[in-house]
Structure 1
Amino acid sequence: MFNVKNLSNRLNTFRSKMKDLKIDGAIVTKIENYMYLSGFTGTSANLLITGKKAYLLTDFRYIEQSSKQAPLFEIVQHKPDIIDTINEIVKSEGIIKLGFEELNVSFAQYRQYTDKINGVEFHGMGSLIDDLRIIKDEQEIEIISKAVEIADAAFTHVLSVIRPGITELDVAAELEYKMKKLGASGASFETIVASGLRSSMPHGTASGKRLEPGDAITMDFGAMYNHYCSDMTRTVFLGQPEKEMKDIYSIVLNAQLTSEKGAKRGRTGSEVDKIARDIIYGNGYEGKFGHGLGHGVGLEIHESPRLSTGGGRRLENNMTVTIEPGIYVEGLGGVRIEDTIIIKDDSPVVLTKSPKELIIL
């Protein structure tokens, strides 16, 4: 999936970070992180990386696949207990200070490390590799753009399917089927379809509720393409909505467009979040926008940076993030509009192309 040049650059950058941490070796266990560093896309592996060597430990099922996908790594079929193999390599490489992903390792796993791998100092690496993944390279942006394109096409398709009497589950199934037909391996998260009064629930996953005239229909979904995610939301109406719902839609759209334009390099996530929040609260809906404005998207559907009231990280070029304000009123309904964008200096690139003007079906 990844070209060798990109993999080499990532490995070199990671080794430079290892030097900064003053560690001799590192165990990488999080699937998105070992995929990012090695290119291996199977579901079972650990990486063991030193200053000069790189090992990929996996089981029999993935020996052939990993040999083809991870050209910069020595492939090792591990023993029944992978920690025994890690211990052997640690000893043979003379590793004294060993980094590990403590944010991805359970306490029980950590106890196994310390019980079986003796004579080393364990050092947590925090979110080191996750942070490396925040800035996307050209190949990653190309893949994410394709994932967004697939989701856009699925949205266009589903508009022709929506009618009174079908269920939210029917809508979700149409979205997911179309995305797969267009090359996605699947949905990048559980598809949200929330209609009518249920649209006031920000994460109202599709249910057996039947669509009725006047319903707001919020659809939040994404495509998984070459292991990268896309994420978009559109709210449409099945017949004429109530006046307040039209007003809410206009407010959310203004907040979405304004904060999207304000997502500039150098601003913090909280500063961009405030742009949308001020518009929504200023129109009388304080407390009705209870989630963050957006988040990073890549190998995971929710990555750093966070665009929220607590988002302190400054935006940098080639971050891929979502902009997704919403208003949710219990007993009435809700509206959310979401695009995936790329940070580019003062003019972010909006990948999501689906229309955002009020759609009444």
Structure 2
Amino acid sequence: MRAEHRLAAIRRALADEGVPAMLVTAVSNMRYLTGFDGVFDDGINAACLVTSEHARFYTDARYSEAAQAAAGGTPWTVRQTSGSMYIDICRELQAEGVTEIAIESSVPYGRFKFISEQFVGSVRVTDGLIEKIRQVKEAAEIERIQEAARLTDAAFEHVLGFIRPGLTELEVALELEIWMRANGSEGVAFAPIVASGPNSSRPHATVTGRTIERGDFVKMDFGACVGGYRADMTRTVVVGVPSERQREVYAAVLEANEAGLAAVRGGAAARDVDAAARNVLAARGLGDAFTHGVGHGVGLDIHELPTLNAQSRDVLRTGSVVTVEPGVYLEGTFGVRIEDLVVVEEAGCRVLTRSPKELIQLD
């Protein structure tokens, strides 16, 4: 992906802040600014330095060859460090007469302290400066997210033929992960949630060795990853014949999901989308059982801006990719969540996750 316009955007933001340079170390922000593919992993030792004149990518010998290849034809200069990367960067800045830098508020305190001690000048913390730019996705970013959503849908279709009584949650989660990896996903977007029976009443249940039984809801929250970009979808199915209460709750959550989707559009207040879904559940006496926000942004990270909950001050921007995921959780009994991934458009939204949402009964 091209980096020039992303660098221009961050330089404009820095100029507005009155800061001559920014040191970026969050992996997703570095990947966004550089547009590099085939370089980043969760353990990378790297940093990006952006000034009005320079765009430098610092890393060690383990990543240098891949970074040099990725940087070809881009504005980025790759610097291989042999000692302490942050000491090298601070010395370069000092030699160039830079007396103030910005760093991300998300950096670990130990890193902030070390940089502050090494840099001869002022270190300013900025909150969400790059993340706010990342909210609006480019067409190429949406294409990758859409492909990740397509793989996610296909994985769901596959796993429907796999789930049966006697399997464990662990076996279902592993089948999802293996299938997605084998069919083009870069690992998984996040650790899948597979929660059955009473475990499904926990919104973010950990996968266990519990055996799936007839009559269980099985709640599955998972996503593929393509080119660094993630998908996120939840579907809840029932093994065997559902009870009347299960049908009632499922129908309420589905109606809330549709109400939330109908409220999504460019310029909408994020908390209004949350309210649209929440009001449906409250009207059915289930408001207290919906215990989290209705959604969040998705992209290089599985949770990005904007935040869609009752307290959010965010406004949805055309080109953002967000989830709509109402749920009902009846402690110790069962839970239902239905989650879609959508692109925010001027007059509504385009749904990327196409898996069926009617209550699926598995024999």
| TM-score range normalised by the length of the shorter chain | over 0.9
Alpha-carbon shift at residue 245 of structure 1 (Å): 0.9
Alpha-carbon shift at residue 298 of structure 1 (Å): 0.3
1:85 is aligned, of 84, 88, 91, to 88
SS of the residue corresponding to residue 287 of structure 2 reads: coil
Find the aligned partners of 1:46 and 1:334 in 2 and give their Cα distance: 42
Matched, 1:117 2:113: no
SS of the residue corresponding to residue 117 of structure 2 reads: helix
SS of the residue corresponding to residue 253 of structure 1 reads: helix
* Residues matched between the structures, number: 355
Matched, 1:252 2:253: yes
> Which residue in the other structure is 1:54 paired with?
55
> Which residue in the other structure is 2:158 paired with?
157
Deviations 1:138-194 (A, max 9, x none): 000000000000000000000001111011111111111111111001111111011
Find the aligned partners of 1:111 and 1:202 in 2 and give their Cα distance: 36
Find the aligned partners of 1:141 and 1:106 in 2 and give their Cα distance: 30
Equivalent runs, 1:236-315 vs 2, <5 Å: 236-315=237-316
Matched, 1:136 2:132: no
> Which residue in the other structure is 1:26 paired with?
22
**In the alignment, is the contact (CA less than 8 A) between 2:61 and 2:82 conserved in 1?**
no
User: Is the deviation greater in 291-300 or in 199-208?
Assistant: 199-208
Deviations 1:39-80 (A, max 9, x none): 233222101111011111100111111112233211111232
Find the aligned partners of 1:344 and 1:90 in 2 and give their Cα distance: 42
**In the alignment, is the contact (CA less than 8 A) between 1:190 and 1:205 conserved in 2?**
no
> Which residue in the other structure is 2:100 paired with?
97
Alpha-carbon shift at residue 259 of structure 1 (Å): 1.0
Alpha-carbon shift at residue 272 of structure 1 (Å): 0.4
Find the aligned partners of 1:23 and 1:46 in 2 and give their Cα distance: 18
SS of the residue corresponding to residue 187 of structure 1 reads: coil
SS of the residue corresponding to residue 186 of structure 1 reads: coil
Aligned partner letter, 2:31 = M
> Which residue in the other structure is 1:344 paired with?
345
Deviations 1:271-298 (A, max 9, x none): 1000010000110012100001000000
Find the aligned partners of 1:100 and 1:135 in 2 and give their Cα distance: 22
**In the alignment, is the contact (CA less than 8 A) between 1:318 and 1:343 conserved in 2?**
yes
> Which residue in the other structure is 2:79 paired with?
76
SS of the residue corresponding to residue 204 of structure 1 reads: coil
Find the aligned partners of 2:111 and 2:351 in 1 and give their Cα distance: 42
Matched, 1:188 2:184: no
**In the alignment, is the contact (CA less than 8 A) between 1:79 and 1:85 conserved in 2?**
no
SS of the residue corresponding to residue 345 of structure 2 reads: coil
Question: Could you list the runs of 4 or more consecutive aligned residues of structure 1 that deviate by over 4 angstroms after TM superposition?
Answer: none
TM-score by length of 2: 0.96
Find the aligned partners of 1:182 and 1:296 in 2 and give their Cα distance: 25
Find the aligned partners of 1:193 and 1:115 in 2 and give their Cα distance: 46
Aligned partner letter, 2:114 = Q
Equivalent runs, 1:201-212 vs 2, <5 Å: 201-212=202-213
Matched, 1:36 2:32: yes
Alpha-carbon shift at residue 249 of structure 1 (Å): 0.3
Gaps of 5+ in 1: none
Q: What is the root-mean-square deviation in Å for CA atoms of aligned residues?
A: 1.0
SS of the residue corresponding to residue 361 of structure 2 reads: coil
Gaps of 5+ in 2: none
Find the aligned partners of 1:286 and 1:258 in 2 and give their Cα distance: 14
Aligned partner letter, 1:73 = W
Alpha-carbon shift at residue 91 of structure 1 (Å): 1.7
User: Is the deviation greater in 307-316 or in 103-112?
Assistant: 103-112
SS of the residue corresponding to residue 348 of structure 1 reads: strand
